[in-house]
Chains A and B, each alone.
Chain A
Amino acid sequence: MKWNSIRTKVLAALLACLVVGVGGILALMHYSFERNSQALAEESVTGAQKLFTILETREISKMTAVSDVLLVNPQVRDAFAAKDRSRLLDLTAPLYPQLKSEGITNWMFHTAEPDMVVFLRLHNSPKFGDALNRFFDKEVARTHERVTGNELAKAGFAVRIIRPFYDAQGGVTGYVEMGEELGQFIHTMKSQTGSDYGLLLNKKFMDRQFWADSSKVWKRRDNWDDNPNFVVADKTTAGDNIFGFQGDLAAVPEQGKVLERFQDGSSVFVRGIFPVRDAAGNTVGAMFVVRDISSFYLAMRRTQRVLVLLTIVALALGTVLVLTLLTRLIFRRLDHIVVVATRVVGGDYKSEIHVSSDDEVGQFEQLFEQFRRVFVDVLEHVPELQGK
């Protein structure tokens, strides 16, 4: 191979184009892959957040509907208006197991203000008479309207509703409250999505005694002292790796945040976080989510590999095609001209150049053949060559 030949230069240029092209495609694909992976990861977090909101809304609707039924029950209404605890308990206790099986784990009646103490706890009936003094209680007393949201009480951190209860004349006799533990939520979310969840709460917004009481009610270890700033409300994983986070929970953006993408064996996971607010609007904690994105990730990776392979094959075929065309249209014909010219100079005056086309090389072939004829004619008239 001659290094200064056009063929070599064209081949080098094509190879350079191939390398640059493949490199460019690879870089583009890597960029696209990373963007898609990030979008998928973000979608995983926002999807979990949406599901959380949907479940929250659904449970609020369910508890509102149950309280609507209670409100129009004259026996319950009268028993509460008469502050007849034992009768109220007799009337409502049979309902509690059914509601509990549907997720409503907290059910309380509160007296009206100014005392506003717990009149009856269906989930812990021996305990009553205590004032909770939460945002919830103050807000419903202020507005006499239904208040919903997440709130910590003695039976745990739950999505709750609290609404006024009226007597036959329409006067407020107290309040009914229902709640579903957020711990239940994350297990429901796991069963629906297959992802893992963990709820971390900021101690700044928690009541130490409430947490101790709720741990007793639900017969779980009081983990208050495990971490100086946070407490693990519940999780669907065995370990605590899901909660790995260095930062301020209050600074987690509203739409959530992707923390990392990691591989475990052949599986690829995304771990993210989104804030959880209480009824007062405080960021009281954060929900961590770990989603298995292996199927999407591997499908994207497969597509990327196929595209890279196809690009390389296409560029390689293009290189071969261009070289073949150049050889057939130019190089081979130029070689023939060189051979004929050499042979004529060497004494073979009968060698001819056959004009194979009227393209640019063909025009050169024609010109060279005309030149050859003139040259041979001149040689035939040279005295030294007469008779040779």
Chain B
Amino acid sequence: MSQLYDIKLRIEEKIQADKLDANEVKGKIGLRAGKLLAFITADTPDDPATIVKLRQAVKDVLNIAL
């Protein structure tokens, strides 16, 4: 399992735990990271630059550090 997919799963866990609007939160993170979360699967290869961007987007939107 790639790091990118792991981050995606943790985002979904957070959304479920806080009962957030999934489309809105994923949209915001996706736009900030420049990556569509729907494209991230377990087989998606890790790209260090994308990981950094995604983590920063999560920090900005959900205020959590992954």
Contact = CB atoms under 8 A, between A and B. Distances in A.
A382 B27 contact: no
Interface residues of A, number: 15
A342 B41 contact: no
B26 A346 contact: yes
B63 interface: no
Contacts of B55: none
A341 B24 CA distance: 9
A384 interface: yes
B38 to A, nearest CB: 6
A251 interface: no
Contacts of B31: 341-342, 345
Contacts of B41: 384
B27 A343 contact: yes
A342 B27 contact: yes
Interface in A341-364: 341-348, 351
A388 B31 CA distance: 20
Contact of B22 (A341, A347, A351, A382): A347
B16 to A, nearest CB: 15
A385 interface: yes
Nearest to B41: A384
B40 to A, nearest CB: 9
B55 to A, nearest CB: 18
A345 B27 contact: yes
Contact of B23 (A346, A385, A388): A346
Max chain B C-beta neighbours (<10 A), residue from A347, A348, A379, A385: A347
Task: Give chain B's interface secondary structure class.
Answer: helix
Nearest to B43: A384
A199 B26 CA distance: 93
Interface string B12-52: 00000000001111111011000011110100000000000
A345 B30 contact: yes
B38 A385 contact: yes
Contact of B38 (A341, A343, A384): A384
Contacts of B37: 346-347
B50 to A, nearest CB: 15
Given A347-B22, A348-B23, A342 B39 contact: no
Given A346-B22, A347-B22, A388 B38 contact: yes
A348 B27 CA distance: 9
A339 B23 CA distance: 10
A345 B41 CA distance: 16
B35 to A, nearest CB: 10
Contacts of A345: 26-27, 30-31, 36
Contacts of A382: 39
A351 B27 CA distance: 12
B39 A346 contact: no
Interface string A368-388: 000000000001001011001
Contact of B30 (A339, A346, A388): A346
A379 B37 CA distance: 12
B27 A347 contact: yes
B15 to A, nearest CB: 10
Interface of B: 22-28, 30-31, 36-39, 41
16 contacts: A341-B27, A342-B23, A342-B31, A343-B27, A345-B27, A345-B36, A346-B22, A346-B24, A346-B25, A346-B27, A346-B37, A347-B26, A347-B27, A379-B36, A382-B39, A384-B38
Interface of A: 339, 341-348, 351, 379, 382, 384-385, 388
Given A345-B31, A384-B38, A384-B41, 8 more contacts: A342-B27, A342-B28, A345-B26, A345-B27, A346-B30, A347-B26, A348-B23, A388-B38
Give the 7 A-B residue pairs with the shortest CB-CB distance, closest first.
A346-B27, A342-B27, A346-B26, A348-B23, A346-B23, A345-B27, A343-B23
